[in-house]
């Protein structure tokens, strides 16, 4: 029985993440990331889009061979037999079928009527189910689809046998309050099937919308490591996981202490740096300079840290600058084996602040050098 407090994590780093311009992973790199995702504990790995290229086909096949025994591996397919057959040929036992449902996509991209789209949803889902596949259906651009038609598409996919239905905010136009209400309506017509959400970050709301979707009844979230993806990216795996666990007390299978290492691996292999201020895995996520903050964290980290860096495999970083106080300076120097009384520390701190006022980024080595000169004098 699926727990109502359990949220599945569907990772699409290797599919939607890799679709970002400039990210082209080799087969070996994709396999390496897949192994890390399997260790991390995600529920589903979307390995790629097997019909899109020979490399994607081979990579999907290789990922299934490497990790398919211990985690669900899926692949993307357009709602046609050719794409589904290619996924079957690659060895998939799970497939993610999509076709757009918004009027703008129907008119300008698909050149199809609504009735034709409904028929295609039913036929493609039935076809995939007839081959014994786990099927997740996505109405692309769901959040710009007329609501009644969207619900009709969901009902059609469920009637055809879809195991899960994913609601993509394809161009990131939702806000959390509206999205929560939409997901409630989708859940009400889904006959108990797992509803998933897939949020893009065009307005910086992908994580918030994903959480709102869960609060509306979704029990699976599509994410990417570091939030990489098309345009402004996708909902960030690390942010979604920690918000679900720490703020809402949902059960998530991901091992949080592996989040930082996973983030670093994906950054290294994609060549996309992790932003300095990135939540959870950024270098400043547990960074402190201001004297009041540093004093609090030294006494008890809970004063200024809502989660511990160790929880997510990250590190606390105490920095020096013009906002520094004596407590932080003492800790940084003592970590380097230098012990000074308060009067001497004040002199060193004054020198540190003068240096910072010139725009120089003060390092622990700078403080050590200043303290050493002071001691020798």
Concatenated DSSP letters of 218-239: --EEEEBGGG--STT-B-BHHH
Give, for 135, the enclosing helix (H) or strand (E). strand 134-140
What pLDDT shows up at residue 40? 98
CA distance 377 to 297: 32
Q: In whole angstroms, what is the distance from residue 374 CA to residue 370 CA?
A: 6
Q: What is the pLDDT of residues 23-59, one digit of tens each?
A: 999 999 999 999 999 999 999 999 999 999 999 999 9
Instruction: Express each pLDDT in 186-213 by its tens digit.
Output: 999 999 999 999 999 999 999 999 999 9
Asked if residue 2 has pLDDT above 90, the reply is: no
The DSSP symbol for 71 reads: S
Give the pTM. Answer: 0.93
308-345 pLDDT per residue, tens? 999 999 999 998 888 988 898 898 898 999 999 888 88
pLDDT tens digits, 209-261: 999 999 999 999 999 999 999 999 999 999 999 999 999 999 999 999 999 99
Q: Which helix (H) or strand (E) holds 64?
A: helix 54-67
For 5-56, give the DSSP string: TB-EEEE-IIIIITTSTT----HHHHHHHHHHHHHHT-SEEEEE-TTT-HHH
């Amino acid at each position: 029985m699926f727990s109502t407090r359990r949220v599945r994590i569907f990772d699409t780093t290797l599919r939607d993440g890799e679709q970002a311009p400039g990210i082209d992973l080799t087969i070996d790199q994709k396999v390496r990331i897949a192994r890390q995702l399997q260790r991390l504990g995600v529920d589903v790995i979307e390995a790629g889009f097997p019909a899109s290229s020979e490399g994607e086909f081979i990579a999907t096949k290789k990922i299934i061979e490497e990790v398919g025994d211990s985690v669900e591996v899926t692949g993307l397919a357009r709602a046609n037999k050719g794409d589904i057959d290619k996924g079957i040929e690659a060895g998939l036992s799970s497939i993610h079928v999509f076709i757009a449902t918004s009027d703008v996509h129907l008119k300008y991209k698909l050149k199809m009527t609504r009735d034709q789209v409904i028929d295609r949803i039913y036929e493609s889902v039935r076809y995939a189910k007839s081959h014994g596949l786990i099927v997740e259906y996505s109405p692309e651009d769901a959040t710009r689809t007329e609501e009644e038609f969207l619900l009709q598409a969901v009902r059609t996919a469920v009637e055809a046998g879809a195991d899960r239905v994913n609601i993509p905010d394809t161009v990131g136009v939702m806000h959390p309050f509206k999205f929560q209400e939409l997901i409630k309506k989708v859940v009400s017509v889904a006959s108990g099937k797992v509803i998933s959400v897939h949020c893009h970050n065009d307005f910086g709301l992908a994580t918030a919308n994903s959480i709102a979707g869960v609060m509306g009844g979704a029990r699976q979230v599509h994410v990417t490591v570091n939030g990489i993806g098309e345009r402004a990216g996708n909902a960030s795996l690390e942010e979604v996981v920690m918000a679900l666990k720490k703020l809402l007390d949902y059960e998530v299978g991901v091992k949080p202490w592996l989040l930082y290492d996973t983030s670093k691996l994906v950054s290294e292999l994609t060549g996309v740096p992790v932003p300095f201020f990135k939540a959870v895995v950024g270098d400043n996520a547990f960074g402190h300079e201001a004297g009041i903050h540093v004093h609090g964290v030294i006494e008890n980290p809970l004063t200024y840290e809502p989660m511990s860096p160790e929880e997510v495999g990250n590190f606390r970083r105490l920095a020096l600058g013009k906002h520094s106080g004596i407590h932080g300076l003492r800790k940084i120097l003592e970590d380097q084996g230098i012990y000074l009384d308060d009067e001497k520390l004040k002199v060193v701190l004054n020198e540190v602040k003068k240096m910072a006022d010139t725009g120089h980024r003060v390092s622990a080595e700078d403080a050590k050098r200043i303290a050493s000169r002071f001691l020798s004098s």
